[in-house]
Structure 1
Amino acid sequence: MSETTIDQADFRKVLGSYPTGVCVVTAMDGDKPAGMVVGSFTSVSLDPPLVGFFPDKKSTSWPVIEKAGRFCVNVMASDQLDVCRSASAKGDDKFVGVEFTISDHDLPIIANSIACIECQLYSVTEAGDHWFAMGEVLRMESVREDDPMLFHRGRYGGFAERM
């Protein structure tokens, strides 16, 4: 239990100063794709190869992904804002108009993502009002060399190199 009271609006504002990459985590819900947008994706371990992200406990998409037992992290490019908007929508229409293929691991891989990382669910740990979901990497691929989609201070954008 914290000894300090932190205002939630201040917490979001200050932590929003740190830019994050944008990924769409996908899985299959029976015969249809399911997914959610995350900005909390990270590498965790090389041996075994583990990655992780932090779904909100209120997410309606996370229980579907967790139940599937496998997921794919699709790293979004700066030109895929339409995909991010679709995947973050509520309900069953998240993938209407989104081009994807189904991998050998039965996972949706979004077309033209920068990279895809297919995982077997490794563990889920409680982390406050979120879960810490880890996956063991089954297959990964760098798909194209383009700028990543970034999220910073409540807005989407891209990378600008400074020399």
Structure 2
Amino acid sequence: MHTRVTADQRRPTVDKRELRQILGRFASGVVVVTGLVEGEPAGFTCQSFSSLSLDPALVVFCPSKTSRTWPGLSRSGTFCVNILGEGQRDVSDTFARQGVDRFDRVCWSSGRRGNPRLAGALAHIECDLRAEHDGGDHHIVLGEVQDLVVGQADSPLIYFRGRYAGIRA
């Protein structure tokens, strides 16, 4: 038997630092979400990414509400998820920084839908924005897959316990 928990009952006291350490034990791939904002390329690093559904073809990622890049990409209604390869730590770091010309530091080309595709990635997934929901200090973004391209890399870039790692497939 399941009982519903009220909002007042759901507010446990959780140490944020401890939670971050625990969640850091979950290894995740690293993606860079790219698109065009007022005709200019834009993008950011994100490690909260996953497949959601095969039918319809949906992916999900969760950009921080403090992101300066996501609002513009959201307004454009389309984006590309670039799944980074093991040798792209510098690309991940570049797109995680604020105040730099990110696209001046990487090789890229335009995809079929106009969104930037980063050279050297494992794959490129071009999407239309399907939905955006509140997720605490993050947005929960659903993308409807419109185009898929297998990239050049063989092994993924992994983030685990605050560090990059790679795996050989």
Question: How far apart, in 2, do the equivalents of 1:141 and 1:156 lie?
Answer: 24
Q: Which residue of 2 aligns with 1:129?
A: 137
User: What is the CA-CA distance between 1:24 and the residue it aligns to?
Assistant: 0.2
Instruction: Indicate the residue corresponding to 1:48 in structure 2.
Output: 56
Answer yes or no: is the 8 Å Cα contact 1:50–1:137 preserved in 2: yes
Deviation of 1:104 (Å): 2.0
- 1:110 — aligned with what? 118
Residue 97 of structure 1 deviates from its aligned partner by 2.0
- In the alignment, the residues of structure 1 paired with residue 55 and residue 165 of structure 2 have an alpha-carbon distance, to the nearest angstrom, of 33
Aligned residue in 2 for 1:71: 79
8 Å CA contact 1:121–1:136 kept in 2: the answer is: yes
Percent identity of equivalent pairs: 37
Matched residue SS, 2:103: coil
CA displacement, residues 56-103 of structure 1 (integer Å, 9 cap, x when unaligned): 111111101101110100000010111111111102511112100011
1:103, 1:92 → 2: CA distance?
23
Distance 1:153 1:113 in 2: 22
Between 1:125-134 and 1:142-151, the stretch displaced more is 142-151
Q: How does 1:22-33 map to 2 (within 5 A)?
A: 22-33=30-41
**Structure 1 residues without counterparts, runs of 5 or longer:** none
TM-score normalised by length of structure 1: 0.94
Task: State whether structure 2 residue 77 is matched by structure 1 residue 62.
Answer: no
Aligned residues: 161
For residue 3 of structure 1, report the CA deviation from its aligned partner. Answer: 3.3
The RMSD of aligned alpha carbons is: 1.3
Superposed displacement of residue 144, structure 1 = 3.0
Within 1, Cα distance between the matches of 2:41 and 2:153? 26
Between 56-65 and 83-92, the greater mean CA deviation after superposition:
83-92
Unaligned segments of structure 2, at least 5 residues: 1-6
Moved over 2 A (4+): none
1:79-90 aligned within 5 A: 79-90=87-98
Q: Do the aligned residues in 1 keep the contact of 2:82 with 2:118 (CA within 8 Å)?
A: yes
Q: 1:157 to 1:60 in 2, by over 3 A?
A: same
Q: Secondary structure at the match of 2:106?
A: coil
Shift of 1:141: 1.5
Asked which structure has the greater CA Rg, the reply is 2
What is the aligned partner in structure 2 of residue 159 from structure 1?
167
Q: Which residue of 2 aligns with 1:7?
A: 15
Partner of 1:144: 152
Q: Distance in 2 between matches of 1:30 and 1:102?
A: 15
